[in-house]
Structure 1
Amino acid sequence: MNDKKSKKEQKTSFCPVAGKCGGCQLQNMTYERQLGFKEAKVVKLLGKYCHVDNIIGMEHPFHYRNKVQAAFGSTRGGKIISGVYQSKSHRIVCIDRCRIEDRKADEIIVTIRSMMPKYRMTAYNEDRGTGFLRHVLVKRGFKSGEIMVVLVTGTVVFPGKNAFIKELLEIHPEITTIVQNINNSDTSMVLGETEKVLYGKGHINDSLCGCVFGISPKSFYQINPIQTEKLYNKAMEFANLTGKETVIDAYCGIGTIGIVAAKEAKQVIGVELNRDAVHDAIANAKLNDTKNIRFYCADAGEFMVDMASNGEKADIVFMDPPRAGSDKAFLSSVVTLSPKKIVYISCNPETQARDLSFLVRNGYKVRKIQPVDMFPHTAHVECIALLTRVK
Structure 2
Amino acid sequence: MQKILKGISIYKIGYGGIGIGSLPDGKKVLVKGGALPGSIVDIRVIKSKKDYIEGHLLAIKKYDTSLLNGKPICTHFFSPFQGNTVEQAPHKIGCGGCKWQVMNYEAQLKLKESIVEDAFSKLSKKQEIGFLPIIGSPLQEGYRNKIEFSFGVYKQLNEEFRKAKKSGQSEEELIKTGYTKYEINSEFNLGFHKQGEFSKIVDVDHCGLISTKANQIFEHMKSLCLGSNLPVYDQKNHQGFFRHLVIREGINTGQLLVNLSVSDENLKDQEQSHHREQFLETIKNDPLLKQQVTTMVISYNNGLADIVNAPEVEMKTFRGDGYIYEKLDFTEIQHTQEECLVNFRVSPSSFFQTNTLGAQKLFSTAIKMTGHIEGNILDLYCGAGSIGLSLLKQGLGEELVGVEIVEKAIIDARYNAKINGVEDKCYFVASPAEKMLINFPELKEKIQNIGLVVIDPPREGLHPNVIKYLSDLKKEYDFKLLYISCNPITMARDIELLVEEDFKFQKIQAVDMFPHTHHIECISVLS
Equivalent position to 1:10, from 61, 66, 69: 69
In structure 1, stretches of 5+ residues that fail to align are: none
How do residues 317-328 of structure 1 correspond to structure 2 at under 5 angstroms? 317-328=453-464
Amino acid of the residue matched to residue 410 of structure 2? V
Change (3 A) 1:275 1:45: same
How many residue pairs were aligned?
A: 385
Following TM superposition, by how much is the alpha carbon of 1:7 offset from its aligned partner in structure 2, in angstroms? 5.9
CA displacement at 1:151 relative to structure 2: 0.6
Q: Contact 2:154 / 2:200 at 8 angstroms: preserved in 1?
A: no
Q: How does 1:125-164 map to 2 (within 5 A)?
A: 125-155=234-264, 158-164=276-282
Correspondence for 1:295 among 410, 414, 428: 428
Which moved further from structure 2: 93-102 or 221-230?
93-102
Corresponding residue of 1:61: 140
1:263-274 matches, cutoff 5 A: 263=393, 264=395, 265-274=397-406
Instruction: Summarize deviations over 1:104-126 as a string: whole Å, max 9, x none.
Output: 22222221221124332221111
Q: Is the 8 A contact 2:380 2:455 kept in 1?
A: yes
**Corresponding position of 2:231:** 122
The reply to whether residue 286 of structure 1 matches residue 418 of structure 2 is: yes
Cα distance in structure 2, aligned partners of 1:201 and 1:351: 39
Distance change in 2, residues 1:54/1:113 (3 Å): same
Partner of residue 361, structure 2: 230
Pick the structure with greater CA Rg. 2
1:346·1:384 contact (CA, 8 Å) conserved in 2? yes
Q: Distance in 2 between matches of 1:274 and 1:308?
A: 18
Partners of 2:249 and 2:73 in 1: how far apart? 26
1:42 aligns with 116
SS in 2 for 1:385: strand
Alpha-carbon separation, structure 1, partners of 2:130 and 2:437? 30
- Separation in structure 2 between the aligned mates of residue 169 and residue 231 of structure 1, nearest angstrom: 38
- Residue in 1 that maps onto 2:379: 249
Following TM superposition, by how much is the alpha carbon of 1:29 offset from its aligned partner in structure 2, in angstroms?
1.3
Equivalent in the alignment of 2:408: 276
Q: Shift of the alpha carbon at 1:304?
A: 5.5
Shift of 1:307: 7.1
In the alignment, does 2:103 pair up with 1:29?
Answer: yes
Which of 355, 360, 367 aligns to 2:494? It is: 355
- Taking the aligned partners of 1:125 and 1:119, their CA distance within structure 2 comes to 17
What's the offset of the Cα at 1:240? 1.6
- Corresponding residue for residue 299 of structure 2: 181
Select 2:327's aligned residue among 207, 227, 233: 207
* Structure 1 residues 162-201: Cα deviation after superposition (integer angstroms, max 9, x where no partner): 5222354435611100000111111132224311111111
> Which residue of 385, 389, 394 maps to 1:259?
389
Deviations 1:241-296 (A, max 9, x none): 34x32110111010111111222211110011111110111011111111211111
3-state SS, counterpart of residue 345 of structure 2: strand
Compute the displacement of 1:297 (Å): 1.2
Tell me: CA distance 1:136–1:14, structure 2 relative to 1, closer, same or farther (3 Å): closer
Q: Give the TM-score, by structure 1 length.
A: 0.92
Q: Which residue of 1 aligns with 2:316?
A: 196
Q: Which residue of structure 1 aligns with residue 195 of structure 2?
A: 87
Alpha-carbon contact 2:323-2:346 (below 8 Å) kept:
yes
3-state SS of the aligned residue for 1:91?
Answer: strand
SS at match of 2:493: helix
Over 3 Å counting, the alpha-carbon distance change for 1:114 and 1:354 in structure 2 is same
Question: In the TM superposition, what whole-angstrom CA distance separates every residue of 1:284-328 from its partner, at most 9, and x where no partner exists?
Answer: 111111121111112223325857966835221100011111121
Q: Deviations over 1:332-366 (max 9, x none)?
A: 11212225211000001011011001100011011
Are the aligned partners of 2:67 and 2:103 in contact in 1 as well (CA < 8 Å)?
no
Kept in 2: contact 1:68–1:102 (CA 8 A) = no
Contact 2:434 2:465 in 1 (8 A): yes
Seen in structure 2, the aligned counterparts of structure 1 residues 190 and 33 have a Cα distance that, compared at 3 Å, is same
Which stretch of structure 1 is more off in the superposition, 165-174 or 89-98? Answer: 165-174
> What's the CA shift string for 1:199-251, capped at 9, x where partnerless?
11100001014110000000111110111111101111122234x32110111
Gaps of 5+ in 2: 1-63, 79-93, 156-184, 266-272, 330-340
For the Cα contact (< 8 Å) 2:258–2:293, is it kept in 1?
Answer: yes
> 1:249·1:258 contact (CA, 8 Å) conserved in 2?
yes
SS where residue 130 of structure 2 aligns? coil
* TM-score computed with the length of structure 2 as normaliser: 0.69
Tell me the distance in 2 between the aligned counterparts of 1:124 and 1:188: 10
Distance 1:6 1:240 in 2: 43
Which sits farther off after the overlay, 278-287 or 307-316? 307-316
After the TM superposition, which of the residue ranges 183-192 and 160-169 deviates more from structure 2? 160-169
One-letter code of the match for 2:136? G
Which of 334, 348, 353 aligns to 2:470? It is 334
Alpha-carbon distance in structure 2 between the residues aligned to 1:170 and 1:369: 46
% identical equivalent positions = 31
Rate the CA distance shift 1:279–1:371 in 2: closer, same or farther, 3 A: same
Farther-moved stretch of structure 1 (146-155 vs 286-295): 286-295
The one-letter amino acid of 2:515's match is: P
Q: 2:158 is matched with which residue?
A: none
Partners of 2:206 and 2:218 within 8 A in 1: no
* Counterpart secondary structure, 2:348: coil
Q: CA 1:366/1:8 → structure 2, altered by over 3 Å: closer, same or farther?
A: closer
Q: CA deviation at 1:10?
A: 2.7
Q: Which residue of 293, 299, 314 maps to 2:450?
A: 314
Do the aligned partners of 2:296 and 2:319 also contact (CA within 8 Å) in 1? yes
